[in-house]
Chains A and B, each alone.
Chain A
């Protein structure tokens, strides 16, 4: 487990017309080390017809994720994805640990690091911080859950590990 974990956050959002991705890498205090975003990729009507259902997967995974991960210069200990569909591609391309993290309305678990499996496969409740609700963690494999928990708990002692997604959203909004 790293003493000062570096966390990566990656999202790909669609507004119905186009797709845009962003990646933020922060240190253990939540201070940005690198931030990248893509131009909006807007497929034409012909491309939507030709590619069909595969279009979204192709644009998200191949075009946007690939470009973002190639561009980011920092190597985070963990990638926190904005969508579970990104887990596989991010893990494969970065050759590292990838998880998703969401808030929950549950009561706090016993102590930071407490990990409780949920009924859905690959999902856990993780108490990251001393105070506050547990987070909903999803991973690709069971061994990933323990690795991810140790990194997130270490980071959670000095920062809010879910908060950087808000900053990505605000930064992207300011571009438009």
Chain B
């Protein structure tokens, strides 16, 4: 599958509005569909609430709000991208990556494919834009059918870092 010289990386991709985003698949624990989210009033805006994942409580984070956009509207196509915790990453093959100590999930508008991108295809994010949320994007993958913004999972779920 992978060529020896260039490292391929796999990303789980999804849509926020019309824009397509990707996140390193090794940091993803599972994709959840029928989520019932209990709002957590008084928390940061991007914290949309808590959900029950088979007895564990997941904090739902709104990536759209993190990126400076409008809050996610929950609908039938809403999916939750549940990330592995740091402890889970530590015991998986994904050592060296970091997310959060707590179980967190991202609410996204629509889930898309898992793609395989070689390192060469990923460009650094354009440095000239300094809009809110830029530090959350670690790179831009140029594909035949468009552009995928690669999210930095660590920055995504660690609030108060860099913003």
Q: Do A and B come from one complex?
A: no
Residues of B participating in the A interface, judged by any CB pair closer than 8 Å: none
Residues in A lying within 8 Å of B, measured CB to CB:
none
